[in-house]
Structure 1
Amino acid sequence: MGMQAVTQAQVKKITGSDILEEQDMLATEEPLEIRLSYYTQAGYTAKSISVTMRTPGNDLELAKGFLYTEGIISSREDVTETRHASDTNGNVVYVTLAQGVMPDIVRLERNFYTTSSCGVCGKASIEAVRTACNILDTKDHIEIPHSTIYTLPATLRAQQSVFEHTGGLHGCAIFDTTGNLVMTREDVGRHNALDKLIGAAIDNGLLPLNDHILLLSGRASFELVQKAAMAGIKVIAAVGAPSSLAVQLADEWGMTLVGFLRGERFNIYTGAQRIVI
Structure 2
Amino acid sequence: MGRVTERRRTVRVRNGAVSERADTLVGEEPLEIRVNGRPLAVTMRTPGDDFALAAGFLVSEGVIAGRAEVARVTYCAGAADDDGRNTYNVVDVRLADGVAPPAASLERNVYTTSSCGVCGKASLDAVRTTARWPLPLAGGPRLAPETLAALPDRLRAAQRVFARTGGLHAAGLFSGDGELLDAREDVGRHNAVDKLVGRALERGLLPLRDAVLLVSGRASFELAQKAVMAGVPVLAAVSAPSALAVDLAQEAGLTLVGFLRGASMNVYAGAERLVLAAPAPAPAS
Return the TM-score normalized by structure 1.
Answer: 0.92
Distance between the aligned counterparts of 1:47 and 1:262, measured in 2? 43
Shift of 1:133: 2.2
Kindly indicate whether the alpha-carbon contact (under 8 Å) linking 1:49 and 1:113 is maintained by their aligned counterparts in 2: no
1:161 pairs with 2:168? no
Partner of residue 64 from structure 1, selected from 25, 43, 55:
55
Question: Once the two structures are superposed, what CA deviation does each residue of 1:64-111 show, in whole Å capped at 9, x if it has no partner?
Answer: 101111011121111111112234321111111111112234122248
For residues 164 and 225 of structure 1, do their structure 2 counterparts lie closer, same or farther at Cα, with a shift above 3 Å needed?
same
Once the two structures are aligned, what percentage of the paired residues are identical? 52
Structure 1, unpaired ranges of 5+: 38-45
Kindly indicate whether the alpha-carbon contact (under 8 Å) linking 1:62 and 1:199 is maintained by their aligned counterparts in 2: yes
5 Å-filtered alignment, 1:1-277, equals 1=1, 3-37=2-36, 46-86=37-77, 87=80, 88-110=86-108, 113-137=111-135, 138-140=137-139, 142-277=141-276
Count the aligned residue pairs: 268
RMSD of aligned alpha carbons: 1.5
Kindly indicate whether the alpha-carbon contact (under 8 Å) linking 1:123 and 1:129 is maintained by their aligned counterparts in 2: no
Structure 2, unpaired ranges of 5+: 81-85, 277-285
Moved more, 258-267 or 191-200: 258-267
One-letter code aligned to 1:66: F
Kindly indicate whether the alpha-carbon contact (under 8 Å) linking 1:111 and 1:122 is maintained by their aligned counterparts in 2: no
Distance between the aligned counterparts of 2:145 and 2:110, measured in 1? 38
One-letter code aligned to 1:97: L
Distance between the aligned counterparts of 2:8 and 2:63, measured in 1? 39
Distance between the aligned counterparts of 1:59 and 1:80, measured in 2? 16
Distance between the aligned counterparts of 1:52 and 1:240, measured in 2? 23
Structure showing the higher strand proportion among its residues: 1
Shift of 1:135: 3.8
Moved more, 186-195 or 103-112: 103-112
Shift of 1:130: 2.4
Kindly indicate whether the alpha-carbon contact (under 8 Å) linking 2:43 and 2:111 is maintained by their aligned counterparts in 1: yes
Distance between the aligned counterparts of 2:203 and 2:105, measured in 1? 29
